[in-house]
Amino acid sequence: MKKLTGTIFIIFATLTLSACIDVTEQQPNSSISQTEQQTDGQNNNDENIDEPAQTDQSETEVNQDDKGEKTKTTSSEQNREKTKRLEVFVEGITDLREATLYESTQLNYSMYVLDQFSLESEEPGKDILISEYDGDFFVRIETLGNNPNIDAIKTNIKQSDGTVLELDPTSNLDPYFHKAKLHMLVNTKDANNIHMSAVHVVQNIDDVTFRFTLFIPGKEAAEGIEPSFWAMLKTIQVN
């Protein structure tokens, strides 16, 4: 009986020891599995965090590109070529003539001036574009304040000596001036009984209202000088 009891005890102890060994061997595997799951979870979280950051970065770059493009456009508008060939329509023929860029410091604009013409300051707030061939041909250039009273300007012109005509702006041969706010003509004669025409034009350029008064004597040179004036005036650009 004692031998039987001892044998049973030995068998029970052996089984218990085997079970402990199995549990011990399984625990490291379980720990490794949990560690791998945590690592995978962190990687997934990192990927989820990185993706929005990349999207935000690309949007910022697009915005920067857009701003750069606008800045470049503005810069190109301000930087004008020093010389340029202008189209001058004379007696049914378009002629290309060399012109040089000049700036008016007092009126804050630039324009291209053809050879044999000059741009000068006449008095505060007024410039003159004058023919070097014949000084009787010139244009008075001035800028008007905000919301100028066009009716008052018309009334003043109508009080001029001579024949006063109010013209349709589309009668101008150059389409650039077809949107003028005012286009009037005053015909008179000077002291030498030479016919003189004063052409009055009020035109909006770059949100600034300009007034041009062209003085055109009834001389043969008018055929080339007057269209030259129009060709130069339409190159005005506000600085």
Distance from C-alpha of 54 to C-alpha of 199, rounded to nearest angstrom: 63
169 plus 70 within the same structural domain:
no
- Which two tokens mark 142? 């001035």
pTM of the full structure: 0.67
Q: What is the extent of the structural domain holding 63?
A: 1-79
* Cα–Cα distance measured from residue 219 to residue 134, given in angstroms and rounded to the nearest whole number: 10
For residue 35, the SS3 value is helix
Tokens of 196: 């003189």
Same domain? 67 vs 147:
no
Is the pLDDT at 17 greater than 50? The verdict is: no
Residue 112 confidence (pLDDT) above 60: yes
Rounded mean pLDDT, 16-24? 42
Whether residue 114 is found in the same domain as residue 218: yes
Shared domain check, 73 and 4 = yes
- Over range 136-155, report the average pLDDT: 95
Q: Cα-atom radius of gyration of the chain, to the nearest Å?
A: 44
What is the SS3 assignment for 239?
coil
Specify the pLDDT at position 67. 35
Split into its structural domains, the chain has a count of 2
- Listed residue (118, 144, 140, 121) closest to 131, CA to CA: 118
Place of tokens 């055109």: 216
Residue ranges of the alpha helices (H) in 79-170?
150-158
Mind listing the pLDDT tens digit for each residue in 88-98? 999 889 999 99
Which helix (H) or strand (E) is 128 found in, with range?
A: strand 126-131
| 181-222: pLDDT as tens digits | 999 999 999 888 889 999 999 999 999 999 999 999 999 999
Tens digits of residue pLDDT in 151-182: 999 999 999 999 999 999 998 878 999 999 99
Q: CA–CA separation, 197 vs 213, rounded Å?
A: 10
Give per-residue pLDDT as tens, 31-82.
434 444 444 544 444 544 454 444 444 333 333 334 333 222 233 345 899 9
Domain boundary (58, 79, 100) is at 79
Q: Are residues 93 and 199 in the same domain?
A: yes
pLDDT score recorded for residue 173: 76
What value does the mean pLDDT take over residues 224-235?
97
91 and 70 both lie in a single domain: no
Q: How far is CA 138 from the centre of its chain?
A: 32
At 62, list the tokens: 């697009």
**Domain identity same for 89 and 60:** no
